[in-house]
Amino acid sequence: MKILPELKGPADLRALPIPALTELAAEIREAICDQISRSGGHLAPNLGVVELTIALHYVFDFSHDRLLFDVGHQCYPHKLLTGRTRLLPKLRQRDGMAGFPEPRESAYDLFAVGHAGTAISTAVGMARGDMLNGEGWAPETPGGRRVVSLIGDASIVNGVAMEGLNNAGTLARQFLVVLNDNGMSIAKPQGAVAAYFDRVRLSHGYGEFKRAAKDLARRVPGGALIADLYHRMGEMSKAMMSEDAWFEHFGLVTIGPIDGHDIPALIDTLSEVKHFERPMVLHVKTVKGKGFKPAEGDPCGMHSPSAFKIIEDDLVSEGCRVELKKGGRSFTGAFGEAMIELMQRDPKVVTCTAAMPDGTGLNKVMPQFPDRTWDTGICESHALDMMAGLAKTGWKPFFAVYSTFLQRAFDQCFQEAALQGLPVRLCLDRAGLVGGDGAVHHGFCDISLLASLPKAVLMAALDEPSLKAALAFMASYDAGLSAVRYPRDSVSTMFAEVPCPPFELGRARALLEAPEPDLAVLGYGVMAIEAMDAVRSLRDEYSVSVYDARFAKPVDAALLKSLLGRGVPIVTVEDHSLRGGFGACVLEACNEHGLDTRLLTRLGLPDSWIYQGERREQLAEAGLDSAAIARTIRAVLDAPRPEQTKPDGAAASTASTPNSGATVSVRGRMTPR
């Protein structure tokens, strides 16, 4: 009889005998592999923490104690252990299990987290809050709450994590940081800290340390309590427990590394450290992708795969391989190839990413340009400043980053790039709605952040030729910061046979231009494709022009004057927040040039959170799919039109004054062609 289907929560887990937990771990791995093969999702990071998560829930009661996740994509085993197995079949879908911790889903999830480096700091805050509330654990208050932060996938090198460690060392109470050290980030970890952990794992002293610690523990009267070891054995045992004492500099006692797949050893260790009254780091060594050979062999490629098929193959030494289900050509893939072409043409172009070579497409670039391409690890702020330094020395830096992670480097965009007038170039993948990753990863505020920076130029790509043209423009733009955004989606082939004109500063591109349009749609980036589909569904009713806006800053003021000066209503469409987005930039430009903003209708993301699901579902929910755009066009053209004024302020011939309240009739429907 299987264990997992009968497991209703951690209380049931703690009722199991320890030998049964190995079978439970196997069932959890099987369930995760089976589901991700169907739907896609974060595979390798979750397979690596199965035993660790079981042990944490076996020792602690997180219905009362605090468990905070860093890099939330390692939470699937936690969710299965906290009564959410029923949600797994709809992983990352609208009514199923979120791919990240989600407080709406369970009280066991304290924060919705999808960005690295935050758990230690939020855990410090909860530890302090519990103490102020008189609810913190101490020997004299055994019913208090303990606090555990689980950090992994090399996010310990993130600057925020370091700040959290620095402050955690000042706590005078129990506080446990579990460092899941799998030797990997989302990609291979980078930097001096990662190299330090490699040395610790490979050190001959590690094995000697483990043996010596076991011998010492056996000789301690009353058991192997870490508190006894620390306080009774003095400096020698401190050095043994803390290895090179790296975390000791932050004021945290360090234990390990220990085997993160040895459930009995994990339970023994956690059962001891839970009684320790000082902030502590437990260094746990795990294998990313553990238990599934294709994921162990390729932890980067299997970090977050699309759906796949397992193929038995005697020619493969591991006994099986996986075949990923293919979708259309992605913007990410198109970007990687476009960067290769650009770097071949221009030897001054350099590029970097922050732990996302696969996710941004730079994994294709790195082998060809190893001296001009860098992965900095999970540190967007550093990456942006490094790019500013490269720009200052005459290079042409392109920073490939998810839109949602750009937020972490905004201060550097301001201070070290824009303020200095340096031409740092931002390539914003995952802009707009991102599908299954949900609200934590939506790229909904890059325009509003960057548009405030003087001389910044903001663009969006329509398709692959458009993306290439935008990158070529950015390579030649030296007056300040520039950015191009594109979604997590397949590139459209709608205009594949049409020559793509080069980008000209502040100029839109006509995709469908009617001689005397009833209305014009300005689509920003891929939303122009949705607009084209909408307009084609209305071609027998109205005459509508469609433009690829290309620029949010500066917008095409000449086009706005031409359209609004003729009384043509405009609908703007973007997969960005309406607040501060492309439509807001158009609205500001109209106001600046004295144009009638009553003829402007803006479509964009609502002032609310949109959760996981298919990108098509999310667009429909936001009113941004082609059907919704068509409804908006029809509503605008069927509504009474406000009287118009000419750009010079004189009243149009259809009304005496712009504020008289009179209206002009809506243009009649066209005769069906």
Mean pLDDT rounded to a whole number for the chain: 86
**Model confidence over 388-406: pLDDT tens digits?**
999 999 999 999 999 999 9
- Tell me whether residue 278 is one of the annotated catalytic residues: no
Please report, rounded to a whole number, the percentage of residues in the chain having pLDDT higher than 90. 73
**At the topology level of CATH, where does 509-640 sit?**
Rossmann fold (3.40.50)
Residue 193 vs residue 92, higher pLDDT: 92
CA 200, CA 203: separation in Å to the nearest integer?
A: 5
- CATH number of the domain at 331-485, please? 3.40.50.970
Mean pLDDT of 234-248: 48
Single-letter amino acid code for the residue at 581: G
Model confidence at 545: pLDDT above 90:
yes
Mean pLDDT of 61-76: 94
pLDDT category at 552 given cuts 50, 70, 90 is very high
Question: What was the pLDDT predicted at 445?
Answer: 97
Q: Give the torsion sign (CA, 9, 12, 18, 20).
A: negative
* 42-51, 163-172, 246-255, 520-529, range with greatest mean pLDDT: 520-529
Q: Where are the alpha helices (DSSP H) in 40-75?
A: 44-47, 50-59
Q: Which of 285, 408, 509, 602 is catalytic?
A: 408
Model confidence at 601: pLDDT above 90:
yes
Question: What was the pLDDT predicted at 589?
Answer: 97
3-state DSSP assignment of residue 223: coil
Tokens representing 290?
């553990």
Q: Which of 84, 288, 396, 425 is catalytic?
A: 288
Q: Where are the alpha helices (DSSP H) in 115-262?
A: 119-132, 159-168, 192-202, 204-219, 226-241
Nearest-5° angle of CA 58, CA 59, CA 61? 85
Mean pLDDT of 64-78: 93
Residue 597 DSSP class: G
Mean pLDDT of 429-457: 96
Question: What was the pLDDT predicted at 440?
Answer: 92
Distances 630 to 212, 324, 515, 639, 656 between C-alpha atoms, Å:
73, 36, 20, 14, 33
Question: What was the pLDDT predicted at 656?
Answer: 28
pLDDT category at 1 given cuts 50, 70, 90 is confident
Please report, rounded to a whole number, the percentage of residues in the chain having pLDDT higher than 70. 84
The owner of tokens 């093969």 is 37
Model confidence at 426: pLDDT above 70:
yes
Same fold, 4-203+243-285 and 509-640: yes
Residue-wise DSSP of 316-382: STTSEEEEEPP-SPBHHHHHHHHHHHHHHH-TTEEEEESS-HHHHTTTTTTTT-TTTEEE--S-HHH
Question: What was the pLDDT predicted at 182?
Answer: 85
pLDDT category at 187 given cuts 50, 70, 90 is low
Domain ranges of the chain: 4-203+243-285, 331-485, 509-640
> Could you tell me which residues are beta bridge partners of residue 458?
483, 553
Tokens representing 412?
């550097």
Range in 1-15, 244-258, 316-330, 462-476 the model is least confident about: 316-330
Question: What was the pLDDT predicted at 660?
Answer: 28
CA 588, CA 293: separation in Å to the nearest integer?
A: 55
- Tell me whether residue 337 is one of the annotated catalytic residues: no
521 membership: H or E segment, kind and range = strand 519-523
Distances 275 to 55, 142, 255, 279, 558 between C-alpha atoms, Å:
16, 10, 14, 11, 70
- Tell me whether residue 288 is one of the annotated catalytic residues: yes
Q: What would you report as the CA-atom Rg of the chain, rounded to the nearest whole angstrom?
A: 28
CA 399, CA 390: separation in Å to the nearest integer?
A: 11
Distances 460 to 29, 138, 427, 558 between C-alpha atoms, Å:
40, 55, 10, 19
> Does the structural domain 4-203+243-285 have CATH classification 3.40.50.2300?
no
Residue 321 vs residue 170, higher pLDDT: 170
**Model confidence over 191-220: pLDDT tens digits?**
545 454 444 443 444 344 444 444 434 443
Mean pLDDT of 235-247: 46
Q: Which of 51, 102, 272, 380 is catalytic?
A: 380
3-state DSSP assignment of residue 282: strand
CA 621, CA 618: separation in Å to the nearest integer?
A: 5
pLDDT category at 330 given cuts 50, 70, 90 is very high
